[in-house]
Amino acid sequence: MKPQITAGPATMTPWTVPNILTVLRLLAAPGVAVMFLYFHRPWADWFALALFSFAAITDFFDGYLARAWKQESRLGAMLDPIADKAMVVIALLVITGYSGMDPWLILPATAILFREVFVSGLREFLGDSAGLLQVTKLAKWKTTAQMTAIAVLFLAMGLEYVREAMTLRSHTALIETLSEFGTQDVNVVDLAQSGGDLVWKTGLGLIWIAAVLTLITGWDYFRKAQPYLRDTPK
């Protein structure tokens, strides 16, 4: 008589606090773009900055809490890099579009997007061997640099919009039109007039640093994958 093999109960991934934070960060990625659909500028810039900053902070806490509380899971390990990439890619698309396609922004943004697509494709190709592409300390610094740069650029966009609006308000014919866009009672006008350009240049400098780190980590992953990309001799 053959022994009967019974399948054990399916193990469901618990909705722990780290996993919930990761899911919230994933949902916040498209939420940044949605801010510009439902709010006029500069309020859309401020809300996008607040949402992105909140999501970036959860990127630290979900991993920290998962390790501290021993609640690491396969779901969290899968969603965490996806959430990070979605945040960066969507935010860069929004900033590039609303910044007037600044070439000094387009180039590093292109480098970042290219690397993210390349590494994702590399992981997919490696399949079961993708575990060799472990996240390095430099890759974590890369993510931190990206998110810091993007937050600064969102701040600069809001300040620049306020400054431009206040300049245009000197023309009486446009006062009524501008009031419809919520720029009449903004209390950061002085800061915008004096610091908007400086904040934008700071953000550009940070995004270039992030782009360099991004390319370095991408090359490191490609180098590690080289043994698995060689054709076997026939």
d(CA 18, CA 61): 7
- At the topology level, CATH places domain 17-227 in Four Helix Bundle (Hemerythrin (Met), subunit A) (1.20.120)
d(CA 105, CA 100): 10
pLDDT of residue 215: 93
Amino acid (one-letter) located at 42: P
3-state SS of 125-191?
HHHHHHHHCCCCHHHHHHHHHHHHHHHHHHHHHHHHHHHHHHHHCCCHHHHHHHHCCCCCCCCCHHH
d(CA 111, CA 116): 9
Domain boundaries, the chain: 17-227
Interval 24-70: pLDDT, tens: 889 999 999 999 999 988 899 999 999 999 998 988 887 777 777 77
pLDDT at 73 over 80: no
Interval 4-25: pLDDT, tens: 444 444 455 578 888 888 888 8
pLDDT of residue 17: 81
Interval 75-116: pLDDT, tens: 777 788 888 889 999 999 999 988 888 889 999 999 999 998
Q: Distance between the two ends of the chain, CA-based, in angstroms?
A: 47
Tell me how crowded residue 190 is: count the other CB atoms within 10 A of its CB: 10
pLDDT of residue 221: 82
- Kindly give, in sequence order, each residue whose CB lies less than 8 Å from that of residue 168, ignoring residues fewer than 6 positions away: 174, 178
- Compute the mean pLDDT over every residue in the chain, rounded to the nearest whole number: 78
Q: Strand runs (DSSP E) across the chain, as ranges?
A: none
Question: The pTM is what?
Answer: 0.77
